[in-house]
Amino acid sequence: MRAVLAAALSDLRTLKRRRDDAGVSLGVAYTTGLLEGLRVSGALTSAEALDWKGRIGHVEDTHDSPTPDDARPSSNAETSHALTDQQMSRVIAGPFESALFDGLFRVVALEVLADRIYVHWRIAPLPTLGAVSGVHDSTAFSRDLEGLDLDTQVQQRRNAVSRALHAISLKVSDDAGTEFGWIAGGGGGRVDEEWGLAVYMPAPPPIATKLQVTFHEAEINIPLD
């Protein structure tokens, strides 16, 4: 998620050098909205969010002298693909939450671009092994861990929960009947949480009013209008 913020900030600097005031305004709104969603969800601490906000403000207030290439008025054709996508996108900041077993699944933010959507998600707290795999399997697994030190047992249970969660597909749908296809994704985690990004194509059509994100029994409806 920090990589997404870094990329947005880099694009913002490019717009600033080109003296594209309209693009800068859109870029600031985009980055600030994403930042707030990450902060509210807990994916960023308040101190980290304040640091990123300072970086955004520094770029916004900087008055660079354009290079000869940058001094030329930029046309739409000259604007980078990433910036074009940003100008045609919006960020719907969460968090939107739903129970996941005995844990909690969140959509931190939803990015709607011209041709795709980015679903930023987080699971915290993680569900317990017993809830994910069932009491019987959990008890049998605990017996297999007998004799190992406590830290190793905790890590092995955490790994088992992670494997179970990774076997579940995150699905998206809308009220317009759009068929979304997964094109990319990734994530990470710690002992008490997991987070990630899933990318789908196409973008919802203008007639769609809500997007539903489903992860096992967790269902989240995000308004698009």
Could you report the per-residue pLDDT of 166-225, keeping only the tens digit for each?
888 899 999 999 999 998 888 887 778 888 889 999 999 989 999 999 999 899 999 997
- pTM of model > 0.75: no
Report the top-level CATH class of 91-223: mainly beta
Please answer whether residues 117 and 199 qualify as being in contact, where contact means their C-beta atoms are separated by less than 8 angstroms: yes
Residue 40 reports pLDDT greater than 70: no
Q: What is the mean pLDDT of the chain?
A: 76
- pLDDT category at 136 given cuts 50, 70, 90 is very low
- Cα 179 to the center of its chain, rounded Å: 21
Domain boundaries, the chain: 2-88, 91-223
Find the mean pLDDT for residues 134-147: 56
CA 109/CA 92 separation, integer angstroms: 6
What's the confidence (pLDDT) of residue 3? 63
Triad 33, 82, 72: Cα angle to 5°: 110
- pLDDT category at 137 given cuts 50, 70, 90 is low
Both tokens of residue 213?
């994100």
What's the confidence (pLDDT) of residue 123? 92
CA 214/CA 180 separation, integer angstroms: 13
CA 90/CA 142 separation, integer angstroms: 46
- pLDDT category at 76 given cuts 50, 70, 90 is very low
Conformational region of residue 202, where left means phi above 0, alpha means psi within -120 to 50, and beta covers everything else: beta
Residue 83 reports pLDDT greater than 50: no
- Cα 97 to the center of its chain, rounded Å: 14
Percent of the chain with pLDDT over 90: 26
